[in-house]
Structure 1
Amino acid sequence: MNMKKIILALSAATVFATVADAQVQLTITGSTAFRSIVLDRIPTLFDTNSMSANISDPNKNQYYFSGTISNLIPTLGNQPITIRTSFSGSGSGMTAVKNGTLQPCINLDGSITNLAADLAFSDVYPASASPSIAASAFAQRVEVGVVGFVFAKNNALIGITNITREQAVLLMAASGDGGMPASYLGGIGLGAANPVYLIGRDSGSGTRISVEKDINFIGSPNLWATNGDGTYSLIAGLTSGGTVAKNIAGGTQAIGYVGLADFATITSVATALSYNGIPYSHSAVASGMYPIWGYEHLVSKIGMSANQQTLRDKLVGSITNAAYQSSAIYSNSFVRLSDMQVRRGADGGTISSLVF
Structure 2
Amino acid sequence: MRIKVHPDPQNPSGGFAFLELPGASMPDRVTMGVQDAYSGRWLHPDAGAGEEPNWQPQMQELGPFDIFRHDGADWLRLGPDVVNHLEEYTALQFRIDGKQYETIWPDNIAPRTEKAVPGALRVTTRAQPIVEPVEVKLPPEPVETKVETVDSEPEEAPPKRRGYALWLAALLLLCAAGAAAWYMLSDETASVTPESLTPVAETSGSACALPALQALGGFDAQITAVRDCGSDVSPDAALTLIEAAAKQGNAQALTLFGTLYDGDELAPRIENLTGLTFADDPAQAAEYYAGAVAAGSAEAQARLTATCARLDGSSLTLEKGAFDDFCR
**TM superposition score normalised by structure 1:** 0.21
Higher-Rg structure is 2
